[in-house]
Amino acid sequence: MRRGAGLVAVALTLSGCAYYNAMWSAERSAGEARRLEARGQEAEARTRWTLAAVKAESVVTHHPRSRWADDALVLQGEALARAGSCGTAARPIAKALATVTDEALRERAALVAADCALLTGQPAEAERALAAALASNDAGRRSRAEYLAGRASVSRSDYDGAVAHFRRSREPAALPARARALLAAGQPEAVRAVLDTLTAENRFNRDDWTQLLDGLAGAGGVAAASTALDRLLARARVPAADGIALLIADGDRRLVRGDLDGAAGRYRQAAAMPAGDDGVARVRGQRVLAARAATRDDLGPVVAELTHIVGAGAADARTLHDLVSRVSAIPESPGAGFRLAELARDSLGAPRLAGQLFLDLATADTGSIFAPKALVAALPLLPERHDSIIDVLDRVYTASPYTRALRGDASPAFAAAEDSLARALGVVVARGGGGGAPAGAARTRPRDVLTGPRGPWLDDAPARGATPAARARPRVDDRGRRVPAARPTERPSERPDRL
C-alpha cells in the first residue's frame, strides 16, 4: 500500500510538472509575440501567437481542473485573436466570461471580446464588453480599454469622444489614432500639436506618418503637412529609406496641386538623402520638367535623362519615358494629334504643352472636324490667349456645334460631330434600327482607354437613331467620375474643356 501511494504521488507530481511546463511555454511564446509586435514584425508575431494558442489549449484540454486552467483558457482566446482568428477565439473567450471568477482574467477576456467586436464592425458590442475594464485598477488594462473605446467611438463617428478616450490611453497606437480622430473632426491645429508630441517621443511608424501627413494636407493644407514633415526629419530618428519615401510623397502632393517649384525641391531633397538615390526621386524630378514643357522640344532633355536612370526607379523611368516619347512624336493624322494633346494634358500634366498642341492641330488643318474642338479644349489651358482663341472661333467657326455649345446653345449637330470624331479615332459607333439592334443599344468600347475625363466621350458615342436624352453627353464630378445621365432638358456643360 505504501508503494502504491508513492506511485500515485509521483504521478501527480509528474502531471503537475507537465501542465506547468506547458503553461510556461505558452506564456513564453506570448511574450515573444508581444516583443515582435513592438518591433513591427507583425507576421512573425502572429506565428508566435499561434504557437501560444496551441500550448494554452493543451493545458485547457488535458488539465481542465488545474490551477492554471483559467489562465490557459484566457490566454488561448487572447493568442487566437492576436493571431487573426477572432472567429476561433470566440468560443474560449465566451467560456472564460461565463466561468472565470478572477477579476483580472475576466478583464483580459473582455478586452479580447471588445477587440474582436471592433474587427467585425460591432462597436456597440465592444463598448458593452469594455465597461468593467475601463474602471480597472490595473493601469495597463485600463489604458488598453481606453484605446479600444476610442476606436469604438470612431466607428460611430463620435470623434470628440474618441479623442477623449485616446488621450487617456498609453497604448503606442493611441497617439496617432488621436491625430486621425482630430483630422476627422476638422481640427488641423490640434493635429499639429499631437504630431509634435509624437515626434518628441521618437515614435516613428512609416505607415502612420504617411497617413497622418496625407490627412493633414487635406485638412490643413499642403504647407501644414510639409512643416510637420520638416519637424519630424529634424527631431526624430527616421530611417533614410522612410525619409526618402515621405519626401517623395510630399513632393507628389505639391505636384498634384500645381506647385511645381515646391515639388521639384522635395524631389531634390529626397535624391540628396544619405542613403543614396534609388532613382525614384530623379524620375519624379523629370516629371516636373515634363509638366513645365511648353513645346515638344522641351521634352527632348527629359527623354535623354530618363534613359540613364537605373535601380528602383527604372520601371517608373521606362513608363514616363514611353509617355513622353509618345507625346513628343509628330502625329500622322489630326485624330492622332488630338490624342497626343489629351495625353499631354491628362496623363503628363503639362497644360501649356497640351494647349500648344491643340493650337497646332487647329492651325495645321483649319478644315478638320477636330479644329474647333481643339480650340475649345485649348481655352482653359492657355488663359493668356483666351481672347484670340475666342476671336477665331467667332470668325471662322461660328456655325460649329462646338462653338455653339460653348455659348450654351445645344444642337443635334453636336452629337453628329462627336460621332464623326469617334470614327476618326477608330471607335465603332453603334447604329440604331439596323441589323436588329435597337436605338440606344449598348455601344462598343474604344480600342484605347480614354486619356482623361475632359476629352470626347468616345466610349459613349450616341447611336444615330437615339433620342436627345440618349445623345446627351455623360456628366462627371470634379474628380472625373461618372454621374447619372443628364435629363433631356439639360444643356451640354458650359465648361469649354469638357465639351
- Residue 464, in any domain of the structure: yes
Q: Judge whether residue 472 has pLDDT over 50.
A: no
Q: pLDDT at position 47, please? A: 93
Alpha helices in 257-400 (DSSP H): 260-271, 280-292, 300-306, 314-328, 334-342, 351-364, 370-378, 386-396
Q: Judge whether residue 469 has pLDDT over 50.
A: no
For cell 530618363, the residue is: 306
Q: pLDDT at position 367, please? A: 83
Burial of 61 (0-12, 13-18, 19+ CB in 10 A): exposed
d(CA 177, CA 179): 5
- Residue 307, in any domain of the structure: no
Q: Judge whether residue 484 has pLDDT over 90.
A: no
Could you list the residue range(s) of the whole structural domain that residue 394 is in?
Answer: 345-355+374-498
Residues with Cβ within 8 Å of 98's Cβ and at least 6 positions away in sequence, in order, are none
User: Where does the pLDDT of residue 412 fall: very low under 50, low under 70, confident under 90, or very high at 90 and above?
Assistant: confident
When mean pLDDT is compared across 10-24, 207-221, 414-428, the lowest value belongs to: 10-24
Q: pLDDT at position 304, please? A: 92
Read off the pLDDT of residues 162-185 as tens digits, 9 standing for 90 and up. 999 999 999 988 999 999 999 999
What's at 478, amino acid-wise?
Answer: D
DSSP states of 261-286: HHHHHHHHHHHTSTT---SHHHHHHH
Q: Judge whether residue 466 has pLDDT over 90.
A: no
What's at 34, amino acid-wise?
Answer: R
Over range 442-459, report the average pLDDT: 35
Distance of CA 200 to the CA centre of its chain: 27
- Please provide residue 303's backbone torsions phi and psi, each rounded to the nearest 5 degrees: -60, -45
Read off the pLDDT of residues 255-274 as tens digits, 9 standing for 90 and up. 999 899 999 999 999 988 87
- Please provide residue 475's backbone torsions phi and psi, each rounded to the nearest 5 degrees: -100, 160
What's at 1, amino acid-wise?
Answer: M
- Residue 256, in any domain of the structure: no
- Residue 12, in any domain of the structure: no
d(CA 390, CA 380): 11
d(CA 458, CA 460): 5
d(CA 434, CA 117): 59
CA atoms within 13 A on the CB side of 329: 15
Over range 194-220, report the average pLDDT: 86
Read off the pLDDT of residues 76-124 as tens digits, 9 standing for 90 and up. 999 999 999 999 999 999 999 999 999 999 999 999 999 999 999 999 9
Pairing of strands 475-476, 482-483: antiparallel
Helix (H, G, I), strand (E, B) or coil at 432: coil
d(CA 470, CA 415): 10
Over range 427-446, report the average pLDDT: 42
DSSP states of 435-483: TTPPTTPPPPPPSS--S-TTS--GGGPPPTT--HHHHSPPEE-TTS-EE
- Residue 103, in any domain of the structure: no
Helix (H) or strand (E) holding 476, with range, is strand 475-476
- Residue 37, in any domain of the structure: no
Q: How many domains is the chain partitioned into structurally?
A: 1
d(CA 476, CA 498): 9
What's at 427, amino acid-wise?
Answer: V
DSSP states of 204-224: --HHHHHHHHHHHHHHH-HHH
For cell 489549449, the residue is: 57
Alpha helices in 156-187 (DSSP H): 159-167, 174-184
Give the residue among 460, 468, 464, 458 at the shortest CA–CA distance from 488. 468
- Residue 142, in any domain of the structure: no
What percent of the chain stands above pLDDT 90?
A: 53
pTM: 0.68
Q: pLDDT at position 278, please? A: 65
For cell 487635406, the residue is: 218
Give the bridge partners for 483, in sequence order: 475
Read off the pLDDT of residues 276-305 as tens digits, 9 standing for 90 and up. 556 889 999 999 999 999 999 999 999 999
The three cell numbers locating residue 381: 489651358
- Residue 449, in any domain of the structure: yes
The three cell numbers locating residue 285: 524630378
3-state SS of 57-109 is HHHHHHCCCCCCHHHHHHHHHHHHHHCCCHHHHHHHHHHHHHHCCCHHHHHHH
